[in-house]
């Protein structure tokens, strides 16, 4: 790659002394560090560190009581140098434009890290889906899809599930888009139900990719995954399936949690029982045979592998020096701040950064999109085998880049990813 510096490692740019928890500023700090390693031209830096396109929409929705509520939604396309924008849609009361800009930016680096031909995008709606009925969610989703219709499409920008959205959400978006176009468009979203062009293996892909990355990290650290203790923060799509897949590999899942708190058992928690319990009770808290643990204590408890699988900024300067895990694998986006990264690196913790650790989701989204465009579908075995290849190769490319630049895996991944996007931008040239 022409843009990767071959000289000695660069000093890490100074991070401001006070920790900033704004996710977009964090995304820019992470980018700036890589840009420094790559000695990127200042103009190119400006292009790559800001989103290409931002759309804010108002989403009027009829609620079940007959009243209209107007939600605010966003779709951000950070970069499309290597292919269409790609990334999920999040429903959460704490969504902000800066968060969506950060998440879109991270998608650009994520698709480049695993080398799939997409750019980065993200969407979000400020709402509390836990307090909305299914018909309310459907009406809000369809109106949001209609509002972002002008900028999405199979060769333009392809949404997918993220926090508190799922395959049903994607089905509504696919239908709204298709009805507006007057023809069925399978490739406009990924993470769909199998019956309408979804891919085998997509539902599990984020967790499976995370498992493969951890397996590779264990090999590098000469550590056995079998018998290793695992703590998982967050029990949504990524966290709950990770718990099951790690347990299948005979790792011991000693703690899990959700937004209401966590549970702990040093002899191990059965992830299937936990999922059934959460299905019934709405939380893992109170699961028989476990003791209660807070989300904060889960993060700093003694364990071999820590998997943050919920939201941003959970590993910060406040708790980084208390983390005891040997490996941290970020199934969530943005769980660790740049300051905390430095603390963990000094402690010798192996950090598998989000743009690698959770890239299995978007990788199988890419497979889903390819299958949709070809109308030719693969078996689960084929999907998983291809996913493993992508993840193992990406892990070692990141590890090697980090080693070469004598830095940690986050910066290794950024140097690799930013270098790829910079190369694509340079070779295309600036329009007009």
Separation of alpha carbons 285 and 421, rounded Å: 43
Which residues contact residue 153 at a Cβ distance below 8 angstroms, ignoring those fewer than 6 apart? 84, 177, 185, 188
Q: Does 399 bind ligand GLU (CB under 6 A)?
A: no
- Taking CB under 6 A as the criterion, the residue among 73, 87, 119, 239 binding ligand GLU is 87
Shortest distance (Å) from residue 248 CB to ligand GLU: 22
Using the rule CB under 6 A, which residue among 185, 350, 358, 384 binds ligand GLU? Answer: 358
Name the minimum Å distance from CB 209 to ligand GLU: 10
- Select the span of 82-90, 148-156, 249-257, 296-304 touching ligand GLU (CB under 6 A): 82-90
Size of the site for ligand GLU (CB under 6 A): 12
Residue 248 contacts residue 212 (beta carbons within 8 Å): no
Beta bridge partners of 229: 252
Q: Would you mind telling me the total number of residues written for the chain in this entry?
A: 432
Contact 352, 217 (CB under 8 A): yes
Phi-psi region of 391 (alpha: psi -120 to 50; beta: other; left: phi over 0): alpha
* Identity of the residue, 61 or 190, whose beta carbon is nearer to ligand GLU in the bound complex: 190
**Is 350 a residue that touches ligand GLU (CB under 6 A)?**
no
The token duo for 336 is 């660790």
Q: What token pair was written down for 200?
A: 């085998």
What does the alpha-carbon distance between residue 398 and residue 207 come to, in Å, rounded to a whole number?
Answer: 19
Separation between Cα atoms, residue 15 and residue 17, nearest integer Å: 6
Active site residues: 122
DSSP 216-281: HHHHHHT--STT-EEEEE--SHHHHHHHHHHHHTT-EEEEEEETTEEEE-TT---HHHHHHHHHHH
Toward ligand GLU, which CB reaches closer, 162 or 304?
162
Residue at shortest CB range from ligand GLU = 88
Which of 33, 145, 152, 160 binds ligand GLU (CB under 6 A)? It is 160
Cβ–Cβ < 8 Å for 233, 308: yes
How many angstroms separate the first and last alpha carbons of the chain? 25
The mark string for 161-200 relative to ligand GLU (x by CB under 6 A, - otherwise) is: -x---------------------------xx---------
The least distance separating ligand GLU from the CB of residue 230, rounded to whole angstroms, comes to 21
Nearer to ligand GLU, 87 or 262 (CB): 87
- Span from 85-93, 178-186, 287-295, 309-317 in contact with ligand GLU (CB under 6 A): 85-93
Q: Is 362 in the site for ligand GLU (CB under 6 A)?
A: yes
Binding ligand GLU (rule: CB under 6 A), the pick from 83, 84, 88, 271 is: 88
Identify which range of 251-259, 318-326, 361-369, 381-389 contacts ligand GLU by CB under 6 A: 361-369
Q: Give the residue with the Cβ less far from ligand GLU, 162 or 200.
A: 162
User: What is the b/e burial string over 124-162, where b = at least 16 CB atoms within 10 angstroms of the residue's CB?
Assistant: bbbbebeebeeebbbbbbbbbbbbbbebbbbeebbbbbb
For residue 190, what are the CA distances in angstroms to 129, 156, 193, 339, 408?
20, 13, 9, 34, 32
Q: Given strand 68-79, what is the order of strands in its sheet?
A: 53-62, 68-79, 120-126, 85-92, 157-161
Q: Interacting stretch for ligand GLU, rule CB under 6 A, among 220-228, 342-350, 355-363, 406-414? A: 355-363
DSSP 282: S
80 vs 362 by CB, closer to ligand GLU: 362
Interface stretch with ligand GLU, choices 71-79, 289-297, 360-368, 405-413 (CB under 6 A): 360-368
Contact call for residue 33 and ligand GLU (CB under 6 A): no
Asked whether the beta carbons of 42 and 55 are under 8 A apart, the reply is no
Is residue 112 near ligand GLU by the rule CB under 6 A?
no
Please report how close the Cβ of residue 306 comes to ligand GLU at its closest, in angstroms.
19
SS3 state of residue 57:
strand
User: Is 361 near ligand GLU (CB under 6 A)?
Assistant: yes
Binding ligand GLU by CB under 6 A: which of 45, 75, 82, 86?
A: 86
> Taking contact as CB under 6 A, which single stretch among the options 137-145, 220-228, 334-342, 359-367 is the one that binds ligand GLU?
359-367
**x-marked contacts with ligand GLU along 364-393 as a string, rule CB under 6 A:** -x----------------------------
Q: Could you list the residues that contact ligand GLU (CB under 6 A)?
A: 86-88, 160, 162, 190-191, 333, 358, 361-362, 365
């Amino acid at each position: 790659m022409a843009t990767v510096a071959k000289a000695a490692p660069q000093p890490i740019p100074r991070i401001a002394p006070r920790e900033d928890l704004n996710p977009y500023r964090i995304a820019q700090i992470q980018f700036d560090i890589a840009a420094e390693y790559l000695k990127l031209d200042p103009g190119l830096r400006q292009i790559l560190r800001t989103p290409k396109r931002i759309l804010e929409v108002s989403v009027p929705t009829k609620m079940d009581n007959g009243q209209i509520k107007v939600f605010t939604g966003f779709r951000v396309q950070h970069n499309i140098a290597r292919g269409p924008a790609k990334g999920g849609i999040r429903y959460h009361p704490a969504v902000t434009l800066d968060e969506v800009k950060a998440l879109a930016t991270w998608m650009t680096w994520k698709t480049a890290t695993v080398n799939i031909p997409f750019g980065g995008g993200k969407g979000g709606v400020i709402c509390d889906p836990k307090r909305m009925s299914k018909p309310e969610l459907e009406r809000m989703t369809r109106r949001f899809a209609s509002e972002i219709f002008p900028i999405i499409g199979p060769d333009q920008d392809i949404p997918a599930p993220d926090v508190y959205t799922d395959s049903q959400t994607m089905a509504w978006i696919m239908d709204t888009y298709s009805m507006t176009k007057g023809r069925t468009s399978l490739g406009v979203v990924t993470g769909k139900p199998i019956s309408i062009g979804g891919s085998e293996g997509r539902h599990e892909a984020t967790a499976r990719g995370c498992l493969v990355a951890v397996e590779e990290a264990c090999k590098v650290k000469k550590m056995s995954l079998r018998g290793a203790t695992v703590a998982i923060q967050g029990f949504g799509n990524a966290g709950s399936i990770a718990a099951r897949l790690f347990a299948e590999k005979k790792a011991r899942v000693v703690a899990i949690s959700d937004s209401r708190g966590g549970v702990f058992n040093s002899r191990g928690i059965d992830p299937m029982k936990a999922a059934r319990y959460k299905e019934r009770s709405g939380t893992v808290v109170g699961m028989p045979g476990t003791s209660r643990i807070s989300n904060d204590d889960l993060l700093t408890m003694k364990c071999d592998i820590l998997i943050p699988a919920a939201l941003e900024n959970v590993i910060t300067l406040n708790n980084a020096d208390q983390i005891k895990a040997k490996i941290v694998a970020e199934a969530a986006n943005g769980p660790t701040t740049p300051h905390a990264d430095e603390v963990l690196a000094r402690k010798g913790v192996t950090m598998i950064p989000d743009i690698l650790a959770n890239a299995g989701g978007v990788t199988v989204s890419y497979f889903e999109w390819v299958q949709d465009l070809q109308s030719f579908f693969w078996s689960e075995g084929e999907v998983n085998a291809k996913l493993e290849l992508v993840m193992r190769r990406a892990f070692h490319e990141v590890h090697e880049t980090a080693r070469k630049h004598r830095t940690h895996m986050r910066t290794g991944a950024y140097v690799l990813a930013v270098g790829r996007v910079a190369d694509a931008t340079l070779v295309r040239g600036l329009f007009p």
